A and B are shown apart, each in its own frame.
Chain A
């Protein structure tokens, strides 16, 4: 297929996945900010949301105070933030339009309808203060990802077009999971346990909720929420669809498909397998011992590298 088509499909999936992640981050932060806290303690939830979405620099160039209306406006509705939900859907649709011939009618309909509906959300001025409007918008963003992802899964031919779009999705998802873990890593570390109490508990559940994993956690561990198990779930549990291991399992599989179809394995396949092996052989105990933050930083870098390698190998030919 055309290298540009593969590139557009890859980014289309990434943007749709990112829109979903941003919606979840905002929702989780809203809940977390509503938790009562000891007086005098700084409210840092919205700052964390900005860091997790990698938008803190762009935000502070535009706003002074990281409070709910400002952050919601910036992450959800803003046209100035290149990674706002609005812009993610906008870019996704631009990419989709560029590769219409590679999409099924259902996929096009999903993203084009979302783009048309997007015009109905204003989000400027007071709308960001309006939690109901925000909540409708976040539901809309999550539904868009579901419909798009579902259409792709149900209707696309299983060929390179499908594989490249899946690769985009899983690279984005792995990045998102690692980032949100990294932002909250301090509440997961044993030495903060002493602070303890209900606040941390809410932080952990909010974290799980932001990757829609709270129920999954209960099913897998059948015990109250423990920080190292949260990390275990999101990093090493194969059955958890947003875990780093699950993402790399999928990446290795889809890259293998591409390699087989093209009759050639390359640096991208090798890199994905290396990261995968490291995750397979890791234990959460070792990770905590050598530093969760360091582990996550390295992972985000490896994941970014995979994107670069694939671009060199396939997308920029």
Chain B
């Protein structure tokens, strides 16, 4: 299969946005790249950016491999992408408000009602409740893939507790240290304001009955959770307390945290703990991670939970297939970002097609995550396929299927040299009562195993820094100018070439 490479086109020319990266790579001897790679590992290890892999006892704290070649996206490409992301998240929020409210979309027959009512993530206790400011998904992570030079596809919506933003921020810090020249040669849109944007978002959604500055806390399952590093990192950057369930108590439907000066009221909780574990009184009674009474306080309107309870129905893989309809229904707009074509196995025709083409398709569990429980047809043995086929027949509603995407590749650095690897992108979209905020960039995940299409960190994926660069600053040197340009926004005036000095002030379009 021919893959679109984001740096090098089939004719060997370099896409504009990668010109300087290509130069940098050809000027950096292999040993230099290698030494930067080990420096990067050392930095991450010392900072303690680790994650835990469930079921892997020996590697309780592992590093996500970091690839030092940045993933480049031009400002023009980003602008289009950003508009699509904002549109999508707006629609998802309206969808959730509707589902837990009047359910017009079900009445209109746009989404099958049983997909909601029989969904494990649907929370009946939220029905008829108003969440503060009608916002459900305050923090969304939308997984984006490319297959060619001009379109972005949404692979997956993450509307519960998307993770990875700490890597977006730390990758940038490490890149600036490891490749200062390359960084200075580009005007890279900063991502470091993400914590400020997140804090502003969380403040904006405090319950309305709060008069003073709201007290915010970040709720973590604890230090044995795989994303604990990210939780502590974010709490630190936000300047809010990192709390565990046992640090919180509920009295008279009001939430307090236990401090050295006695109980202190909490108004907004950025929770990084699943619905199921939030409150043993409301959900799983065996949860020791949660806070008894939290949901009751929530329903009483005394605390904001970000994200809201019950958002899982919006990032369900079965609902995913309806998101384009959802966007049209609530916004009356055409979706700016396309879905990956998807077969719903719940529909008989689709199921028949999927069964016949299992060796070509990627089949996913509707509620699966982390790359588990999926079949990648072209890479599967005939036994795996026949086993999966039986699972499909037994429970077709639990599956969707997608074509094996020709995911784009980016150059990645290995000890044996530079080689293309498949990537995706997770930008983070923040929704507050005062608007939507998107920090330019996101987490690029890269499948480091040759030929692999699975980018999840639990399955050998790594990360890259993602650079959104100003189009008009991409210098064109004479021997490169024959390369074709993609998308709009190419610098009009080539004399105005950016020469990469820090102090140069230049008007940007």
Residues of A within 8 A of B (CB): 1-6, 94, 97-98, 100-101, 108-109, 112-113, 116, 160, 164, 258, 262, 314-315, 317
The 9 closest A-B pairs by CB, nearest first: A100-B232, A101-B236, A314-B260, A3-B258, A6-B260, A101-B235, A317-B258, A262-B261, A112-B48
Question: B192 an interface residue at 8 Å Cβ cutoff?
Answer: no
Q: Is the interface of A mostly helix, strand, loop or mixed?
A: helix
**Residue in chain A with minimal CB distance to B238:** A101
Of the A-B pairs whose beta carbons lie under 8 Å apart in the complex, a sample of 11, sorted by A's number, is A2-B241, A2-B259, A4-B244, A5-B241, A6-B260, A100-B236, A109-B46, A113-B46, A116-B46, A314-B260, A317-B261
**Residue in chain A with minimal CB distance to B232:** A100
Q: List, in ascending order, chain A residues with CB within 8 A of B244's CB.
A: 4
Report how far A108 CA is from B263 CA in the complex, Å. 28
Question: B223 an interface residue at 8 Å Cβ cutoff?
Answer: yes
Report how far A113 CA is from B45 CA in the complex, Å. 9
Q: How large is the interface on B (under 10, 10 to 19, 20 to 34, 35 or more residues)?
A: 20 to 34
Q: List, in ascending order, chain A residues with CB within 8 A of B258's CB.
A: 2-4, 317
Question: B181 an interface residue at 8 Å Cβ cutoff?
Answer: no
Question: B247 an interface residue at 8 Å Cβ cutoff?
Answer: yes
Known: A101-B236, A317-B263. Is A3-B48 also a contact (CB below 8 A)? no
Contact B259 A101 (CB under 8 A): no
Known: A108-B48, A116-B45. Is A3-B259 also a contact (CB below 8 A)? yes
Report how far A2 CA is from B247 CA in the complex, Å. 7
Known: A94-B223, A317-B258, A317-B259. Is A2-B243 also a contact (CB below 8 A)? yes
Smallest beta-carbon distance B227→chain A, Å: 13
| Interface-centre pick from A3, A108, A112, A160 (highest chain B CB count, 10 A) | A3
Question: B80 an interface residue at 8 Å Cβ cutoff?
Answer: no
Contact A1 B223 (CB under 8 A): no
Smallest beta-carbon distance B234→chain A, Å: 9
Contact B247 A3 (CB under 8 A): yes
Per-residue CB contact flags for chain B residues 257-291 toward chain A (1 = under 8 Å, else 0) read 11111110000000000000000000000000000
Known: A160-B260, A317-B263. Is A4-B246 also a contact (CB below 8 A)? yes
Smallest beta-carbon distance A317→chain B, Å: 5
Contact A262 B260 (CB under 8 A): yes
Smallest beta-carbon distance A256→chain B, Å: 15
Contact A315 B223 (CB under 8 A): no
| Interface-centre pick from B45, B247, B258, B260 (highest chain A CB count, 10 A) | B260
**Residue in chain B with minimal CB distance to A116:** B45
Q: List, in ascending order, chain A residues with CB within 8 A of B336's CB.
A: none
Smallest beta-carbon distance B251→chain A, Å: 13
**Residue in chain B with minimal CB distance to A313:** B260
Question: B242 an interface residue at 8 Å Cβ cutoff?
Answer: yes
Smallest beta-carbon distance B137→chain A, Å: 25
Contact B257 A97 (CB under 8 A): no
Q: Which of B222-252 contact A (CB under 8 A)?
A: 222-223, 228, 232-233, 235-236, 241-244, 246-247
Partner of B260, one of A1, A97, A108, A113: A1
Q: List, in ascending order, chain A residues with CB within 8 A of B257's CB.
A: 2
